[in-house]
Amino acid sequence: MGRTLTIIAIALAVATTTISVTMSVYFSTTAKATAVVSPAPSASPSPSPTHTATPPPPLRDYWTQTHSKVQLVTGAKRIKQVLVMTLPAGRWVLHADLSVYNNGPSDFVGCVIGDTDTASLNGHRTIVGDPTLRGNVGPAPLVALISETAAVTVKTSTRVFVKCEHDTARGASPYIDPGADLWAHQSAYLVKQGA
């Protein structure tokens, strides 16, 4: 029986090979070739106009910092400029960090970041001071951090500033610690989102 299966396997292999060769010969002798024509060269290539765009100026960062404490005005709601810088025209992301200290009665202290056209682009408030002293406005630490961030597009040279104030005139004596800083990062593509 083994010999019969071997003979059948050989016969099938021969038959398959014969059919395969026959089909290949048939298709190779009946196939028609199609000529491929290469495109004709153009007479003379026309020079394309060259557009050399002037690269934009490099983006810049500006930074400034206080080197001594800045005492806020004793009276209530009297704003005091803490930091200022002048920026050239462009798109800017602004950020400021300030440590506020008050060893008098606790009081609300607020700071804003603004520019020549808009006095308050962004602002934040905190309570700082001694909550055990007469005239306090509630529980608070003696020192707190206030940060502001804003985005602005200016068409001409513009002054950017950080100003602070406090709410009451009941003995609070807040000041901005040395090391408060204002940073401006120029952006090539500033996209404002939200309202």
In a domain, 21, yes or no: no
pLDDT at 42: 58
| DSSP-assigned states of every residue in 121-143 | SEEEEEEESBTTSTT--S---SE
In a domain, 94, yes or no: yes
CATH number for position 67? 2.60.120.1340
Cα four-point dihedral sign 23, 24, 27, 28: negative
Task: Count Cβ atoms within 10 A of the Cβ of residue 58 and give its class: 0-12 exposed, 13-18 middle, 19 or more buried.
Answer: exposed
In a domain, 116, yes or no: yes
How many CB atoms within 10 Å of residue 126? 18
Provide the residue range defining the domain that includes 125. Answer: 61-186
- Total count of domains within the chain: 1
pLDDT at 192: 74
In a domain, 123, yes or no: yes
pLDDT at 137: 94
In a domain, 13, yes or no: no
pLDDT tens digits for range 53-95: 777 678 899 999 999 999 999 889 999 999 999 999 999 999 9
pLDDT at 167: 95
In a domain, 12, yes or no: no
pLDDT at 190: 81
In a domain, 88, yes or no: yes
Point out the residues of the chain with pLDDT beneath 50.
Answer: 5-9, 11-38
pLDDT at 63: 97
Q: H or E stretch including 21?
A: helix 2-30
